[in-house]
Amino acid sequence: MKYSTASSWPTVTLDDVRGAQKMLNGIARVTAMEGSRHLSQLVGSPVHFKCENLQRTGSFKLRGAYVRIAGLIAEERAAGVVAASAGNHAQGVALASSLLGVRSTVFMPKGAPLPKVAATREYGAEVRLEGTVVDETLAAAEDYARETGAVFIHPFDHRDVIAGQGTVGLEILEQCPEVRTIVVGIGGGGLAAGIAVAVKALRPDVKVIGVQAAGAAAYPPSLAAGHPVAIDSPATMADGIKVGRPGDVPFGIVADLVDEVRTVSEDALSSALLLCLERAKLVVEPAGASPVAALLQDPESVQGPVVAVLSGGNVDPLLMQRILRHGMAAAGRYLSLRLRLTDRPGALATLLGVLTVVDANVLDVGHVRTDPRLGLTEVEVELHLETKGPEHCAEVAEALQEAGYMVMP
């Protein structure tokens, strides 16, 4: 997609990305490229994962943070740096600063997951918990920068940051020279912009597709307007791409070089995370799984070989637990239903016997006896079952109907 307004925005060049790659030599890992047999079958051509979830600090963010901080002059380094983040950028800035001998202060929301807060401190940053949402945390960090003279390190809206993230694109071309399509998640746009700069300069035939969560999709209206547009109250489980407004610098690059921006549902995100865990044995956070979600939603719309960038793997265990349950439900692995039984001894045992025959595992049973809609001798039973997929769910429902049970709407 080409937008005439894009040329008015600051840009990043291939030389910038190559310079960043030299700077990151020995600092950032050249992360693995892993094949996905399941997605390859769906797409009809090879699909590979670029595993930035296995990068140092658990995400690609170290690349851009290091390049940005390494480019500071002596006076700026002496003043220290400050950042605001709920997780990945915080850890990237903390480690980059420690490696470069620069003092760092990172503001994080009060509700930030404890493992991310602990990791940021362990990487050497002073952590301050301010605000309940990222916008409040960002404001606190900017106030700190003005008061102390510390350099604010933006997570995506700076040329050096984008150049650092673009090194992912160079690695993709080196590891998978036959690639035809690259799919990458978009929040503020730094990673997608950097990859597009590197890839389009060397291989303009390669299609770059950006992916946003449907509940936090600021790029589609921004691209339509020709300039960054803020959306109200972005909402998604994918906190790594939960950004309400594109960055000015990455927007111009994305508008000019990224071929398409798609959106994915929360169900698709959770299903993608589950697939990465079960099939690829990779722990990936929801934002990192967004390219996989796009491939699951429309596998026949991309030309392979395909590289899906798994941008991060920092996911709170409690959130992981909820997402996995959601993903299993979306994949038809859970079945919840309500039935009415005659309230007599043995009725529940008979029902459970039917479920045993069809190999459905009962997770939970609930009884309701006081609903005015029930007859005098009736009881309503709510069942939560673990199943093997949509076909098995249909088999369970059919077995219950054949046994004379009426499943309530």
User: Is the Cβ–Cβ distance between 108 and 134 less than 8 Å?
Assistant: no
Instruction: Assess contact for 208 and 256: CB atoms under 8 A.
Output: no
Do 248 and 189 form a contact (C-beta atoms < 8 A)?
no
Residue with tokens 């307004």, as numbered in its chain: 5
Q: How far apart (Å, rounded) are the C-alpha atoms in residues 342 and 346? A: 10
- Asked whether 214 and 221 are in contact (CB, 8 A), the reply is no
Measuring CA to CA, which residue among 230, 226, 170, 162 is closest to residue 193? Answer: 162
The verdict on whether 85 is a catalytic residue reads no
Asked whether the beta carbons of 155 and 191 are under 8 A apart, the reply is no
**Nearest C-alpha neighbor of 360 from the set 408, 396, 402:** 396
Catalytic residue among 61, 116, 207, 242: 61
HSE of 387 in the Cβ direction (CA atoms, 13 Å)? 24
The residue type of 108 is M
β strands within 71-171, DSSP E: 81-84, 104-108, 126-129, 151-152
Q: Give every CB contact of residue 388 below 8 A, 6+ residues apart in sequence.
A: 333, 359
**250-273 burial: b if 16+ Cβ within 10 Å, else e:** bbbbbbbbbebbbbbebbbbbbbb
H-run or E-run covering 166: helix 159-175
Strand, helix or coil at 184? Answer: strand
Active-site residue flag, 388: no
8 A C-beta contact, residue 173 and residue 198: yes
- Please identify every residue annotated as catalytic: 61, 311
